[in-house]
Amino acid sequence: MESSVNPKGNFLIGVLGIGLVLVALVLAMNSGSNSRPDRNTIDVTGSASVTAAPDQAELFVEIQVQEDTAERARSEAASRAQRVISALKDQGVKNDNIESLSINIYPLSDYDRETGQNKVYAYRASHLLKITTNDLDKAGKLLDTAISSGANTVQNIQFTLSNEKQREVNAEALEKATGEASAKAEAIAKSLRVRLGSIAKVSESNFNYIPYAYPMAAKAMEESYADTPIQPQSVEVSASIGIQYEIN
């Protein structure tokens, strides 16, 4: 007697077998992961501040003019700005260290009661310059040069860190913050009678850099700064870092 073979039945049996094998593998993997409980950790944050002497000064001076037409105001402001820039270059300031931050022209008007409308009586033009120098001893001289050459408003004087020095101070602040975080973790572990394991995660949670702004209100300048020393003050850099330790 000849035996009959059902290809369709064999195929279904094969598919069912493969499915059972896959289910067994998934169950085994889940069982293995569940057998490893989550590790206990200690999370700490360290903060530190570092003060440093500035090595860069930024002077913000403005040229303001008022004329009866917009074109005259624009032309006069441009002429004065060019004189200021040329005088600064004569003092050794590089072209890259003189920036035009804003140039504005706007009308000045009064309300005319007879017509019920605003009447333009003049136009004001302004040109704001930023002067950067790494020679802090010349900050007062450069300010005096800008004023005597045509600038008539001092907006701000700011003492900052150059990019290179800022990186150095940043690294110092982060190192101190890390030391504080590590000390906290050791103290916590000791009080809990446990031992610190490996570091699971590190994150820099905050960084702050505060330049020192010279206390001066923006005002029209008539006096010379040649005989007025400008003393730079220290700037402050702070950093915070978070560290997660595993507990052995």
Give 129-167 pLDDT, tens digit per residue.
999 999 998 998 999 999 999 999 998 899 999 999 999
Residue 12 confidence (pLDDT): 44
Q: Which two tokens stand for residue 80?
A: 């004065």
Q: Which two tokens stand for residue 211?
A: 């330049």
Of the candidate ranges 3-12, 66-75, 104-113, the one whose mean pLDDT is the lowest: 3-12
Q: Which two tokens stand for residue 98?
A: 């003189």
Of the candidate ranges 68-77, 90-99, 120-129, 208-217, the one whose mean pLDDT is the lowest: 208-217
Report the alpha-carbon distance of residue 45 to residue 42 in Å, rounded. Answer: 10
Question: Mean pLDDT throughout 1-18?
Answer: 47
Residue 189 confidence (pLDDT): 94
| 163 Rama class: left (phi>0) / alpha (psi -120 to 50) / beta | alpha
Per-residue pLDDT tens for 96-133? Answer: 999 999 999 999 999 888 888 888 999 999 999 999 99
Question: Mean pLDDT throughout 59-67?
Answer: 96
CB atoms within 10 A of CB 15: 10
- What lies within 8 Å, CB to CB, of 16 at 6+ separation is none
The number of helices, as runs of H, and strands, as runs of E, in the chain is: 4, 9
Per-residue pLDDT tens for 40-54? Answer: 999 999 999 999 999
- What lies within 8 Å, CB to CB, of 97 at 6+ separation is 131, 132, 133
What kind and span of H or E run contains 100? strand 98-112
Q: What's the pTM? A: 0.70
What percent of the chain stands above pLDDT 70? 77
- Mean pLDDT of the residues in the chain: 83
Residue 182 has pLDDT above 80, yes or no: yes
Q: Please provide residue 56's backbone torsions phi and psi, each rounded to the nearest 5 degrees.
A: -150, 140
What are the structural domains of the chain?
Answer: 39-55+161-248 (3.30.110.170), 57-160 (3.30.70.2970)
* Distant-in-sequence contacts of 108-115, Cβ < 8 A, 24+ apart: 108/66
pLDDT band at 215 (very low <50, low <70, confident <90, very high): low
- What lies within 8 Å, CB to CB, of 58 at 6+ separation is 130, 131, 132, 156, 157, 158, 159, 160, 211
Residue 213 confidence (pLDDT): 78
